Amino acid sequence: MEKTEVAIDDEKFHEGEVTAGKKSNFCTSNKCSFILLVIIAATIAASCVIIFTDKELRTKRQYDPSDLEWWKKTIVYQIYPRSFKDSNGDGIGDIKGITSMLDHLTYLGVGAIWISPFYKSPMRDYGYDVQNYVEIDPMFGTTKDFDELMKEAKKKNFVPNHTSNDSEWFQKSRQMDTEYKDYYVWSDGKLNTQTRKYEPPNNWLSVFGGSAWTYDVQRSQYYYHAFLETQPDLNYRNPKVLKELKKAMTYWLDKGVSGFRLDAFKFAFEAKNLSLDEALPKVSSNEIAKWSDEQPHNYTNNLPELYPIIKDWRKMLETYKEKDTISRFMSVESTGITQSIRDQYYQAGSVPFNFDLITSLKRTCNGLCFKEIIERGMKDLSEDAWPNFVMGNHDNHRVASRMGLDMIDVMNMLLLTLPGTPTCYYGDEIGMVDVNYTFAESKDPAGLNFGKDFWKYSRDPERSPMQWDNTLNAGFSKGSPWLRVSPDYSSKNVKMQKETKRNTHIQVFKKVAEIRKLPSFQHAEIQFSVTNENFLSYVRQAEGRPKYLVIMNVGQDKNAVSADFTKEPVGSSRGQVVAMTGTVDIALNSILNLKEVSLKRGQGLVIRVYH
Percent with pLDDT over 70 in the chain = 87
Q: Select from 183, 100, 20, 108 the least CA-distant residue to 425.
A: 108
The β-bridge partners of 162 are: 233
Of residues 47 and 378, more confidence is placed in 378
- pLDDT for 511: 97
CA atoms within 13 A on the CB side of 403: 29
Rounded Cα distance, 504 and 319, in Å: 44
Average pLDDT of the residues in 120-136: 86
**Residue 318 a catalytic site member:** no
What crossing angle do the helices spanning 339-348 and 306-324 adopt, rounded to 10°? 40
- Tens digits of per-residue pLDDT, 402-414? 999 999 999 999 9
- pLDDT for 43: 34
Where do the structural domains in the chain lie, given as residue ranges?
A: 70-160+245-268+301-508, 168-224, 525-609
pLDDT band, very low/low/confident/very high, at 236 (cuts 50, 70, 90): very high
C-alpha R_g of the chain:
24
For the 525-609 domain, the top CATH level (class) is mainly beta
Q: Could you give the dihedral angle defined by the CA atoms of residues 473, 474, 477 and 482, in that order, rounded to the nearest 10 degrees?
A: -60
Judged by DSSP in three states, 592 sits in strand
Average pLDDT of the residues in 525-544: 96
Rounded Cα distance, 509 and 409, in Å: 7
- Asked whether 205 and 292 are in contact (CB, 8 A), the reply is no
Q: Select from 374, 406, 375 the least CA-distant residue to 390.
A: 374
Compute CA distances 70 → 25, 112, 327, 444, whole Å.
12, 9, 8, 35
- Sheet of 112-115, strand order: 35-38, 112-115, 76-79, 421-425, 388-390
Rounded Cα distance, 370 and 546, in Å: 25
- Tens digits of per-residue pLDDT, 57-98? 444 444 488 889 999 999 999 999 999 999 999 999 999 999
- Among residues 137, 145, 333, 514, which one is catalytic? 333
- Tens digits of per-residue pLDDT, 383-398? 889 999 999 999 999 9
Domain boundaries 168-224, corresponding CATH code? 3.90.400.10
Of residues 544 and 434, more confidence is placed in 434
Q: Does 51 have pLDDT greater than 70?
A: no
Compute CA distances 18 → 7, 26, 254, 449, 503, whole Å.
11, 11, 33, 49, 18
- pLDDT for 611: 82
Phi, psi of 55 (to 5 degrees): -65, -35
Judged by DSSP in three states, 541 sits in coil
For domain 70-160+245-268+301-508, the CATH superfamily is Glycosidases (3.20.20.80)
CA atoms within 13 A on the CB side of 49: 28
The β-bridge partners of 537 are: 551
Interior/surface letters 569-582, b for 16+ CB within 10 angstroms, e for the rest? ebebeebbbbbbbb
Cα diameter, the chain: 82
- pLDDT for 57: 43
Report, in this order, helix, strand and coil percent for the chain, each rounded to 5.
Answer: 30, 20, 55
Q: Does 313 have pLDDT greater than 90?
A: yes
Of residues 135 and 36, more confidence is placed in 135
Q: Give the pTM.
A: 0.86
- Least confident segment among 84-88, 194-198, 604-608: 194-198
Angle at 280 between CA 275 and CA 282, to 5 degrees: 110
- Among residues 263, 434, 460, 462, which one is catalytic? 263
Q: Does 566 have pLDDT greater than 70?
A: yes
Q: Does 50 have pLDDT greater than 80?
A: no
**Residue 263 a catalytic site member:** yes
Q: Select from 107, 100, 118, 104 the least CA-distant residue to 156.
A: 118
- pLDDT for 67: 86
- Tens digits of per-residue pLDDT, 148-188? 998 888 643 333 555 788 899 999 999 999 999 999 999 99
Q: Select from 440, 485, 479 the least CA-distant residue to 461.
A: 485
Q: Select from 8, 2, 27 the least CA-distant residue to 513.
A: 27
- pLDDT for 286: 63
Q: Does 19 have pLDDT greater than 60?
A: no
CA 210 to chain centre: 27
CA atoms within 13 A on the CB side of 459: 13
Two domains, one topology: 168-224 and 525-609: no
- Least confident segment among 332-346, 518-532, 555-569: 332-346
- Least confident segment among 54-63, 193-202, 584-593: 54-63
For strand 213-216 and strand 197-199, is the pairing parallel, antiparallel, or unpaired? Answer: unpaired
Judged by DSSP in three states, 8 sits in strand
